[in-house]
Amino acid sequence: MADTVKLVKKIARLAEGKKKLRFMEVCGTHTVAIFRSGIRQLLPENVELVSGPGCPVCVTNDDYIDKAIEYSRRKDFVIATFGDMLKVPGSRSSLAAAVAEGADVRIVYSPLDCLEIAKENSRKKVIFLAVGFETTAPTQAATVLAAKAQGIKNLFMLSAQKLVPPALKFLLGDTAVKVDGFLLPGHVAVVIGAEAFNFLAEEFKVPSTIGGFKAEEILTALASLLEQIDSECAEVANEYRAVVKAEGNLSAKKILAQVYEVTDADWRGIGKILASGLKMRNEFAEFDIERVEPIEFERVEKKTACRCGEVLRGVINPTECPLFDKACQPLHAIGPCMVSVEGVCAAWFKYGGTNFKW
């Protein structure tokens, strides 16, 4: 508690007399931790936290959901996925609706669980919905390597992994996005390393700090950002040194590079970002369901008042969306930001009105 009070006072002292500052956290876990800890209520009025595209479910394009639904409707397919993908809306439906219609969709806690599912269902094709950032992609790559080593022929990936650094570069090129510093994702940095974010300081001169997820760790990272602004310098500070190395996790990066290569990717509500996704290398094409059994379906242009794209870019807060807490609530979400437990709209809905006191 004493350290927390000291950090709050330090932040207030560093922010005094400065212009309005906007810091963006780009990790869904950070978003939830910030709300749960009441950190927003502890900051000076001129320090604002905004959320970026740090929820992997939220940035998964509706075309991807449509593909997953179409595969699920085939009798010889089993879909394996993390639970928060079930209610994510596609252009017309969701996986939860497909389950109600009889689709075989199974919740897993790790892609490695799919190895046993594939063995137990040898006459069916098992597809894992491979979404996520650099944090989860190595485990998905390891699953492919394990399937190949074990001779499992009926396990496939429907890939839509995203890469964080290209998204940050894209945001900084968006004139609508006003950010004075980044609270960088600790989990992603564990894998790719602190050095992967050096471009933020070197190319864009934007202060950035890698932070942990406890209240004191987040406050320490915010104080670091303010110290950089106070000294008029920009660097990539690492305040999560216990687990984040400059070079990252070399073993995880090696596995990832062995199975996947970089490609362009579509981000829901944002659009196409160059070199921001992963696709399976040709050597592992037998595990890529879109190459083994491509699927055709009618794409529907979905029109809605949902402003999820602006929320994901930090242009507006969820409460500025006309659907928030009205037509769009967790039990009947219109946009993906309200579906995932790490979605910024879901966090605002659950914690936004809480006046937390230490």
Confidence band for 30, pLDDT divided at 50, 70 and 90: very high
d(CA 127, CA 107): 12
Kindly state the average pLDDT of the residues 334-344: 89
Rounded to 5°, the CA angle 288-292-297 comes to 95
Provide the pLDDT for residue 33: 95
Pair 101, 214 in one domain: no
**pLDDT tens per residue, range 228-261:** 999 999 999 999 999 999 999 999 999 999 999 9
DSSP category for residue 17: T
pLDDT beyond 80 at 182: yes
Helix 344-351 / helix 28-37 crossing angle, nearest 10 deg: 10
Provide the pLDDT for residue 302: 67
Provide the pLDDT for residue 358: 35
**pLDDT tens per residue, range 299-333:** 777 677 899 899 999 999 999 999 999 999 988 88
Structure tokens belonging to residue 184 = 């960088």
Place of tokens 């010889």: 76
d(CA 317, CA 323): 12
Pair 94, 111 in one domain: yes
Gyration radius of the chain's alpha carbons: 21
Helix (H, G, I), strand (E, B) or coil at 277: strand
**pLDDT tens per residue, range 315-324:** 999 999 999 9
Pair 254, 151 in one domain: yes
Q: 346: burial class by Cβ within 10 Å (0-12, 13-18, 19+)?
A: buried
Pair 149, 88 in one domain: yes
Pair 66, 140 in one domain: yes
Pair 80, 209 in one domain: no
Confidence band for 1, pLDDT divided at 50, 70 and 90: low
Q: Which residues pair with 267 in a beta bridge?
A: 60, 271
Q: Would 108 be classed as within a structural domain?
A: yes
- The torsion of the CA quartet 206, 212, 213, 215, rounded to 10 degrees, works out to -80
Range of the domain at 24: 2-55+164-238
- Report strand pairing: 236-238 vs 208-211: parallel
Nearby residues of 352 by Cβ (< 8 Å), 6 or more positions away: 35, 318, 319
**pLDDT tens per residue, range 101-128:** 999 999 999 999 999 999 999 999 999 9
- Report strand pairing: 260-267 vs 271-280: antiparallel
What mean pLDDT is reported for the chain?
Answer: 94
Q: Would 303 be classed as within a structural domain?
A: no
Provide the pLDDT for residue 356: 38
Residue 68: CA count within 13 A, CB half-sphere: 36
Pair 171, 159 in one domain: no
Query: Residue 190: which CATH number?
Result: 3.40.50.11750
Pair 156, 69 in one domain: yes
% of the chain residues with pLDDT over 70: 97
Q: Would 93 be classed as within a structural domain?
A: yes
Pair 227, 259 in one domain: no
Nearby residues of 19 by Cβ (< 8 Å), 6 or more positions away: 46
- Report strand pairing: 21-25 vs 77-81: unpaired
Rounded to 5°, the CA angle 150-121-76 comes to 120
Q: Which residue has the higher pLDDT, 84 or 225?
A: 225
Give which of 87, 135, 91 is closest to 111, Cα–Cα.
135
Pair 89, 175 in one domain: no
Q: Would 243 be classed as within a structural domain?
A: no
Q: Would 39 be classed as within a structural domain?
A: yes
Provide the pLDDT for residue 354: 44
